[in-house]
Amino acid sequence: MTYLAKPRLHHPSLTKNQVGYTRRDYEGKVSTLCAGCGHDSISGAIVQACWQLDIAPHRVAKLSGIGCSSKTPDYFLGASHGFNTVHGRMPSVLTGAYLANRELLYLGISGDGDSASIGLGQFAHAMRRGVRMVYIVENNGVYGLTKGQFSATADKGSVAKKGATNNDTAIDLAALALQLGATFVARSFSGDKAQLVPLIEAAIRHGGAAFIDVISPCVAFNNHAGSTRSYDHVREHNEALNRIDFIDLAAEQVVEHPLDVIDVPQADGTALRLRKVAADYDPTDRLAAMNAMQLRAAAGEIATGLLYVDPAARDWHAAQRTAAGALNAFGEEALCPGAAALARINAGLR
């Protein structure tokens, strides 16, 4: 029934958040994806996270590439800014928007084909530059939109629906992001909202580039026996490194301290609360994170949770010492200071 528009009016008694919006205000159009597609669960988690964090929808810009995953921004945050770019080019368009207006929250939505195949170079540079954004890859191991060819994240030896075997080595985007210098790297599963929603919340509060690789089964082309991205396979091999509950200390008055949690301070003064499965796992140690991921992979397991975070991360604007505020809010005088100012700059470069 995707041709039916959602009703515009909401029941007046729906709960509102601190900025006056109901959860419905964070939704988008009715999804046209296949019933059961993991990508729809990720959209639901984004809606939940933005609503819970009291983010006004018009303060969000969502950008994507091309693919079933890249279609999803149409299905959440209908009142936000949106730009469906070209296949694999979301990061550069997002970077441009972020340079022009640093005051919006940027959500970059991509697929494994979009980011690990055609857009690998763009992904790499976005990670190493520290563009402040939440970069989510909805990773199903296939090109869902073009009917199920292997993507570059498909595991070696996995079998396609029509029987072909993938002989190429898989790219692990989370491991690559770590190697490239990303300051927040997480992995989750679309079927585990209890883990995914707090991770998205933490990524939103992070001060630099935040990357989340979300294993998201394609029920049409990659959910069969032999696939390593199917619901059954992921559930059986998912090894959670930690469970995080995002706690906004500014709003939270009563904080309990069970023995197996640690708080990681964030750049904005809030804290990430980690509920560790492995008592000795330290998400602030990049080398240890790389090692832990390799060990899990060697054991045929998927490490999920907050894999790495640098609590003191700074964004690209801070590194470049750009002017504070959004460029689009500057007046003509500030943007075009005249010939005398230009002469001074030129003189300083001689």
Distance of CA 107 to the CA centre of its chain: 7
Which option in ligand TPP, Mg ion, ligand SF4, none does residue 220 bind, with CB closer than 5 to 8 A by kind? ligand SF4
How far is residue 287's CA from residue 119's CA, in Å, rounded to a whole number?
Answer: 26
* Region of residue 137 (left: phi > 0; alpha: psi -120 to 50; beta: else): beta
User: According to the binding rule CB under 6 A, does residue 137 interact with ligand SF4?
Assistant: no
How far is residue 105's CA from residue 62's CA, in Å, rounded to a whole number?
Answer: 8
Planar angle of CA 290, 195, 156, nearest 5 degrees:
50
What dihedral angle (degrees, nearest 10) is formed by the CA atoms of 64, 216, 158, 288?
A: 90
Binding residues among 73-112 for ligand TPP as defined by CB under 6 A:
87, 111-112
Which residues sit at the interface with Mg ion, rule CB under 5 A?
A: 111-113, 140, 144
Answer for which of 25, 27, 40, 114 binds ligand TPP (CB under 6 A) is 114
Shortest Å, Cβ 67 to ligand TPP:
2
> What is the bridge-based pairing of β-strands 184-189 and 302-309?
antiparallel
Answer for which of 2, 18, 146, 322 binds ligand TPP (CB under 6 A) is 146
Shortest Å, Cβ 87 to ligand TPP:
4
Answer for which of 23, 24, 34, 180 binds ligand SF4 (CB under 6 A) is 34
How far is residue 95's CA from residue 279's CA, in Å, rounded to a whole number?
Answer: 38
User: According to the binding rule CB under 6 A, does residue 69 interact with ligand TPP?
Assistant: yes
User: According to the binding rule CB under 6 A, does residue 87 interact with ligand SF4?
Assistant: no
User: According to the binding rule CB under 6 A, does residue 221 interact with ligand SF4?
Assistant: yes
Is residue 209 within 8 A of residue 127, CB to CB? The reply is yes
User: According to the binding rule CB under 6 A, does residue 142 interact with ligand TPP?
Assistant: yes
Shortest Å, Cβ 140 to ligand SF4:
6
How far is residue 152's CA from residue 59's CA, in Å, rounded to a whole number?
Answer: 34
- Contact range with ligand TPP by CB under 6 A, out of 10-18, 140-148, 162-170, 244-252: 140-148
Angle between helices 193-205 and 38-52 (to 10 degrees): 50
Shortest Å, Cβ 120 to ligand SF4:
20
Is residue 55 within 8 A of residue 204, CB to CB? The reply is yes
Shortest Å, Cβ 214 to ligand SF4:
12
User: According to the binding rule CB under 6 A, does residue 149 interact with ligand SF4?
Assistant: no
Binding site for ligand TPP (CB under 6 A): 66-69, 87, 111-114, 118, 138, 140, 142-146, 151
